[in-house]
Structure 1
Amino acid sequence: MRSSKLAVIAVATLLLGAGCGGSGGKGTSTGGASGGSAAANGPVSVEFLSVQQPTDNWPTVLTKLMDGFAKERPGSTLKNTYVQQTDLDQKLQLLGAQNALPELFNAPNTPAAQAQMGRSGQALDLEPALTQLGVFDKLDPAAVSVIKQLEGGKLYALPFELNIEGIWYNKKIFADNAITPPATWDDLVTAATTLNGKGVVPFAAAGVDGWPITRLVGDYIVRLAGPDALKKVADGQAKLTDEPYLKGAQAVADLGAKGFFGKGVASQDYQAAEDLFLRGKAAMFYMGSWAVGDFNDPAKNKIGADSIGFMPFPAVAGGAGTAEQTPMNAGLPTMVSAKKYNPATTGEWLKYMVGNYGDTALAERGMVTGFKVANPPASVPAMTKLVQDQIAATKDPVLWFEALFTAKATSVAQKGAAPLVTGGMSPQDFMSAVQDALNG
């Protein structure tokens, strides 16, 4: 997914070298002597290494926060350093080997690499550190749950964004065809059949990127086999070639065989798929809430924000999962250098930042994040409010298809997605290929 969205989708996503004194599990360690380059009560200097440009969301919010922090500790500064997402992992490895990781940095692109950074002592174990600082309760519990699922039960990264995923639909198209938001997979297929028969593309999807299609496979599996179905695969307790998993691939392949993704899905990228939906040419669009920014943009959204509804991925008959188990992700999260951490200096900045990030991000950029909001703006766009309400109602967030996969398996899955829905690859061959990649 695009770095400016889900620096996963996702994301990313999604979506993630060595040598730091002390364990990442010791959040109270003073770490390196620099500690953010300040004596106690003096100015704090922080560098943020990010895949976003200085004028993008995360750097902009942090700059605003540093302006506020500098009023309490004059002379404190933030340096935003940009790195392309494709170069991020290599950059982190190089800086880690040189003991030169900055105070804040975007996490590696794979969950396995994120967890390794924590276990090796490069990234700060944030739960004990934030608890000691008195601000752990400023994080949204759903966001904490998502990151812990990815990082082996630990919190090594901060959720600068928090996304729900599901099916966005065109209210007018649904109303014109007497369709109510489907609550079950069978109802979804029936609705798609009706739309296809009327010449309306049921689903906009990006076959070039692959992950918008594999998301559907993963969600079906979770609805059928239960919320821990994909973790069982990662833990070696199940295989993607087992019957419940194959049914997920088959169900999505069947959508493609019926023409429900329209013509040219294999050559359609993210932007083209979104544009198809926002021009009213497709009835449904499975996507994460990072797309809400585009939904709220009249220049991109030709059907109007009021014309877009959201529905959870539907239930599957006889399945162990429920529609209340919402797929969620935290985009590309951000880590704190264990080596640079000092409770009296960078710790005070971290305390201020965590305590104010949610309010500032929402007020300044309209962002939904993994931080609680204490003082919401007087006016919040309806689409943003919808996302906030869905997050608040989520008690059991679940992960996406490739969340716990290796980089190799993720690539195989996403490259095979378009052939899966265009008849170029059978569900059995698709799942076998991904499982083989997981096996190494």
Structure 2
Amino acid sequence: MNLMMRIMPRRASVPIAFAAVTSLLLAGCSGGKDDAPVGGAKEFSVLVTTENTQTGAMFDDLKANQCSDAQKQLPYTLSQTPSSEMQSKVQLLGGQNALPVMYAGTQSLIAPKGDLQVSGQVLDLKETFQKLGVLDQVTPAAQSVIEQLYAGSFPTVPLQFNIEGIFYNKKIFADHNIAIPTTLDELTAAAAKLKSEGVTPFVASGKTGWTISRWLGAIIYSQLGPDALQKVKDKKAKLTDPQYVAAAQKLQELGKYFIDGITNLDYDTMNAQMLNGSAAMMYMGTWFLAAVNDPKQNKVGDNIGFFGVPGIKGYPANVGSPNAINAKLYNDGVGAWLTCIAKNWGSESLKKQGTFSGFKVNTPVDSLPALTADIQKKIDSAPASVLWFEGLFTPKANNDSSANAAPLLTGAMSAKDFMTLIQSDLDAEA
């Protein structure tokens, strides 16, 4: 309903029938409150997975505080669905034109040419944030990741953001006179020195293969540049090209510096090895800080540090699960919520939950653990980001990469065979 129609004064000369129809139309457009937004959403409805407890807690806090004005315009409501059922739930609601305002759509559904994009149920957030005057509240690193994941579009609200790199034991480095490596050769030399002196250089989980395959992505970016995997996606290069196979071979060469028995090592045991001082380094995302900041898990205290993989400008990063906005429900009330989220989510998620988002931290957060504060500075200053190894892969390629990462690392599978398998998956599902 046109806003001018809503506020247009009635004139005595308007026929009674027309006035009655107009009154009915106005009643249909009204949200029931004088300040309710016209058309679109009647509540700020949010759908996330049942396993996601953080988002709901954040909204509960914001609606009572920084976003109380947005809450008055458009009351917040939450619904949840198990992650295993989320895609089918979103597809069903999308087909019924019944999606909520914010929903956890899968990447393929909300990407350009995805079903929900085609049906007009995905809001262009870059354009929206620009119109609301808050695009500058999105960190450059987060925007870079989103636009790489979604072929230049911006369909997800970055409520989460994590960078990836190498967590290391500062005491082990100091005891063995090792400086933070600035090249892959220096990293290899540091690992060789540690192993020769009886220390496990690297830990990863063979049962959780992505903890190994992430290394491969980092090596590819370090040696071939930040667009190396985008070229594979765009069919301008193949993983079977010599320089890509050489990167996989480099990872295999590093395999001798990883923990013994890696094939059967699970994720929790991997973390424990890092947190009890048994290993010197571990490639991981910054979600690991939850364990680092837990005294029950962290037995080495402040001795955990973090540095980026040498040779990469910025960091491999992700923005968590998608949080799309239903374009068909957008109105001023939704805009008020998005404005408040952009200005406050970054500070509040860091303060209340110790987690990072893709929004700037506008209010300083006191008493942060030293490592958390250091990583936040790294995120704020990163000019851009790259994706993880499987970030642009098809589902089968993703699964095969994880399943065969440990055999690649241990030499049970050759670098050429590994890359041929993943490239075949990409070719088959193109």
Using structure 2 for the length normalisation, give the TM-score: 0.86
- Which residue does the alignment assign to 2:310? 314
Residues 357-372 of structure 1 mapped to structure 2, 5 A cutoff: 357-372=345-360
CA distance in 2 between partners of 1:435 and 1:36 (Å): 55
Kindly tell me: are residues 146 and 266 of structure 1, through their superposed partners in 2, closer, same or farther at Cα, counting changes over 3 Å? same
Q: Does 1:237 align with 2:261?
A: no
Deviation of 1:100 after TM superposition, in Å, equals 1.5
Q: For 2:198 and 2:29, how far apart are their aligned partners in 1?
A: 62
Pair 1:392-2:380 in alignment? yes
> Partner of 2:164: helix, strand, or coil?
strand
* Partner Cα separation in structure 2 for residue 85 and residue 380 of structure 1: 31
Q: How far off is 1:96 after superposition? A: 0.9
- Residue 208 of structure 1 corresponds to 207
Structure 2 residue aligned with 1:405, among 361, 370, 393? 393
Counterpart of 2:418? 430
Q: Report SS of the residue matched to 1:327.
A: strand
SS at match of 2:386: coil
Paired residue for 2:35, among 32, 41, 65? 41
Larger radius of gyration: 2
- Give me the CA root mean square deviation: 2.3
Instruction: Report the CA distance between 1:128 and its aligned residue.
Output: 1.4
Distance 1:349 1:112 in 2: 23
Which is richer in helix? 2
Matched, 1:102 2:91: no
1:36-115 aligned at under 5 Å gives the runs: 41-42=35-36, 45-51=43-49, 53=51, 56-68=53-65, 69-71=67-69, 73-74=71-72, 76-108=74-106, 110=107, 114-115=111-112
* Contact 2:226-2:313 within 8 A present in 1 as well: no
CA distance in 1, matches of 2:298, 2:28: 48
CA 1:74–1:200 in 2, change beyond 3 Å: closer, same or farther?
same
* Partner residue, 2:265: 268
TM-superposed deviation, 1:437: 0.1
Matched, 1:194 2:188: no
Give the distance between the partners of 1:371 and 1:36, measured in 2 at CA.
33
How far is the alpha carbon of 1:346 from its aligned partner? 2.0
Distance 1:419 1:120 in 2: 43
TM-superposed deviation, 1:246: 0.5
Instruction: Kindly state the Cα deviation for residue 40 of structure 1 after the two structures are TM-superposed.
Output: 6.4
Q: Secondary structure at the match of 1:188?
A: helix
Tell me how far apart the structure 2 counterparts of residues 433 and 327 of structure 1 sit (CA, whole Å): 23
Match of 1:300 in 2: 297
Provide the secondary structure at the position in 1 that maps to 2:283. Answer: strand
Q: Which amino acid aligns with 2:43?
A: S
Decide whether the 8 Å contact of 2:70 with 2:340 is kept in 1.
no
Alpha-carbon distance, 1:73 to partner: 4.9
1:38 Cα shift? Answer: 6.6
Judged with a 3 Å threshold, the aligned counterparts in structure 2 of structure 1 residues 207 and 35 are, in CA distance, closer, same or farther, namely farther
Report % sequence identity. 40
Q: CA deviation at 1:42?
A: 2.9
Contact 2:110 2:324 in 1 (8 A): no
Instruction: Find the aligned partners of 1:437 and 1:37 in 2 and give their Cα distance.
Output: 50
* 2:318 corresponds to 1:329: yes
How many residues were matched structurally? 395
> Aligned partners of 1:395 and 1:152: how far apart in 2?
19
Amino acid at match of 1:278: L
Assess if the C-alpha contact under 8 Å between 2:51 and 2:82 holds in 1: no
Given that residues 162 and 369 in structure 1 are in contact (C-alpha distance below 8 angstroms), is that contact kept between their aligned partners in structure 2? yes
Report the 3-state secondary structure (helix = DSSP H, G, I; strand = E; otherwise coil) of the residue aligned with 2:282: strand
Deviations 1:261-315 (A, max 9, x none): 22221222322211110011111010111111211111111111x2011121123
1:41 partner amino acid: D
Aligned to 1:341: 330
Say if 2:402 is the partner of 1:414: yes
What is the aligned partner in structure 2 of residue 134 from structure 1? 133
Helix, strand or coil at the partner of 2:309 = coil
- The answer (yes or no) to whether the contact 2:138–2:360 under 8 Å persists in 1 is yes
The 3-state SS of whatever aligns with 2:336 is helix
